[in-house]
Amino acid sequence: MTNVAVIGSQWGDEGKGKVVDWLSERAHVVVRFQGGHNAGHTLVIDGVTYKLSLLPSGIVRPNKLSIIGNGVVIDPYALLSEIESVSKLGVIVTPENLRIAENAPLILPVHRKVDQMAEAIRGKGKIGTTGRGIGPAYEDKVARRAVRVCDLADPDLLREKIENLLVYNNALLQAAGAPPMNVDEILTPLLEVAPKILSFSTPVWLLLDKLKREGKRILFEGAQGIMLDVDHGTYPYVTSSNTLAGTATIGSGIGMGGIGYVLGITKAYTTRVGSGPFPTELTDAIGAKIGKIGNEFGTVTGRPRRCGWFDAVLVRQAVKICGITGIALTKLDILDGFETIKICVGYKHKGVLYDYLPASMKIQAEVEPIYEEMSGWSESTQGKRSWVDLPAQAIKYIRRIEELIECQVALLSTSPKREDTILVRDPFAD
Ligand code: IMP
């Protein structure tokens, strides 16, 4: 028995929500450890669609504990509004089933303003952020001026910390010609929601230690994907947190050795939202077809996702950087009916061949994919619940992917529904 971390092995939107929900049946606790409400996790359960951003996906299951770790940046208003919207679908969130880290930094309204202002200034070079203040909140954390959950308990300290935060952020806003914010504009509404937020607050590291000693199975739910990691992704077109599985220890306080299995959620093709390099992007009718069949629109912003063929080079890189033990392959059914399917097996740049994506943003933008082509399959894979029901050609595609990425499939997801999942190897049993 081991604890499992689930992370995205591409640019996010691989279908983590469904897999985490599916795995959470076997877990006692689900922990978010990085990112914020830039994430969008869609769960479809008994015909009801739940769209989660900040709440761990375990929240929709009764008798599971959900935890938001210190590595997450928490917008208190977004959290409360998400709690309210899931409650309308019958999910009751109380301190019994949700705990948040007392040392987690907050996203405040000024962060959203700075995020949107920074994007406007970047012009053509914009990152395409979700505009939710994620980057500026992480910047303030590292700059040691963040307001944290525990600060909500002390109004005087809170005022002082907001004043300090505004010295820096107002200077940025004013330099860009935007109006500054005043302390009370932030403090007054914050004090109103403080008791509710504080009711969930706890030393998460201590709680996790207790749960670990009790032998509870813990599932760590990553957000975004490895190629959006601030160190290892397609920098600077990345998010502002580390999205690797290793972040689960820092972002929750579980300690090294607390995680034994890393499950990399991997889409059978590739998508990306926002700007940045995407070697296998298809800007033609095939890309549009994948996007349409795959319903590739951002859960958070509704933006259409860019679509392309499966990039085995990138996923292999993610497997190695992140120490992925096995993958969950999702959305294979979207490729049903394609006459031929391509897989990227390498890159070419100015006569040089690469079997990895180099760090230079210029090279990343200019590499040309080298493809291997396979015949597709005409039969449907949608909703299949057993390996033997899969078309032979689809199995061939999966086997080739496994070979190229040097990692095996542990789970196969054949539709957004919870039950349409083929288990090859149980991550918790490894
Ligand atoms: P930020 O995280 O809002 O700063 O956005 C930085 C980049 O990460 C942008 O390209 C976003 O589109 C991307 N991004 C952030 N969160 C997600 C996600 O959950 N799925 C996919 N892309 C994301």
Identify which of 114, 107, 44, 9 has the alpha carbon closest to the alpha carbon of residue 406. 9
pLDDT (tens digit per residue) in 144-174: 999 999 999 999 999 999 999 999 999 999 9
pLDDT at residue 257 greater than cutoff 90: no
Q: Which band of pLDDT confidence, cut at 50, 70 and 90, is reported for residue 44?
A: confident
Q: Which among 119, 138, 224 is the best mutation to test ligand 1's pocket, defined by most ligand atoms within 8 Å of the CB?
A: 224
CA 410 / ligand 1 centre spacing (Å): 26
**What is residue 79's predicted lDDT score, i.e. its pLDDT?**
98
User: In the predicted model, what is the mean pLDDT of the chain?
Assistant: 95
Architecture of the domain delimited by 4-103+201-261: 3-Layer(aba) Sandwich (3.40)
186, pLDDT greater than 90: yes
Ligand 1 atom 23: residue of nearest CA? 224
pLDDT-wise least confident of 1-5, 201-205, 300-304, 351-355: 300-304
For residue 296, how far is its CA from the centre of ligand 1 (angstroms)? Answer: 14
| Angstrom distance (rounded) from CA 314 to CA 336 | 23
Does position 86 have pLDDT exceeding 80, yes or no?
A: yes
| Atom from ligand 1 closest to the CA of residue 129 | 5
Domain 265-429 coded CATH 3.40.50.300 = no
Average pLDDT over residues 191-196: 98
Per the CB < 8 A criterion, the answer to whether 41 and 20 are in contact is yes
> For 7-16, 180-189, 258-267, 411-420, which range has the lowest pLDDT when averaged over its residues?
411-420
Both ends of the chain: CA-CA distance in Å?
Answer: 7
- Mean pLDDT for the stretch of residues 340-349: 98
Find the mean pLDDT for residues 100-122: 96
Bridge-based pairing state of the strands 352-354 and 421-423: unpaired
Ligand 1 centre and the CA of 91: distance in Å?
Answer: 27
Query: Over 80: is that where the pLDDT of 329 sits?
Result: yes
User: Confidence band (pLDDT; 50, 70, 90) for 217?
Assistant: very high
**Cα–Cα distance, 246 to 238 (Å, whole number):** 17
Arithmetic mean of pLDDT, 309-324: 97
Percent of the chain with pLDDT over 70: 100
* Alpha carbon distance 90, 165 (integer Å): 38
What spacing in Å lies between the alpha carbon of 161 and ligand 1's midpoint? 28
- In the chain, pLDDT over 90 holds for what percent of residues? 87
Nearest CA to ligand 1 atom 5: 129
| Least confident stretch, 92-96, 123-127, 244-248 | 123-127
Q: Which of 13, 52, 130 to probe ligand 1 with, by most ligand atoms within 8 A of CB?
A: 130
Q: Give catalytic residues, as residue numbers.
A: 13, 41
- Which CATH number applies to 109-197: 3.40.50.720, 3.40.920.10, 1.10.300.10, 3.40.50.620? 1.10.300.10
Q: Domain spans of the chain?
A: 4-103+201-261, 109-197, 265-429
Residue nearest to atom 9 of ligand 1 (CA): 129
Tokens 């049946």 appear where?
25
Task: Please list every protein residue whose CB sits less than 6 Å from any atom of ligand 1.
Answer: 11-13, 38-40, 127-130, 132, 134-135, 223-224, 228, 237, 239-240, 273-274
- Per-residue pLDDT band for 1 (boundaries 50, 70, 90) equals low
Q: What is the mean pLDDT of residues 67-92?
A: 97
Å from CA of 153 to ligand 1 middle: 31
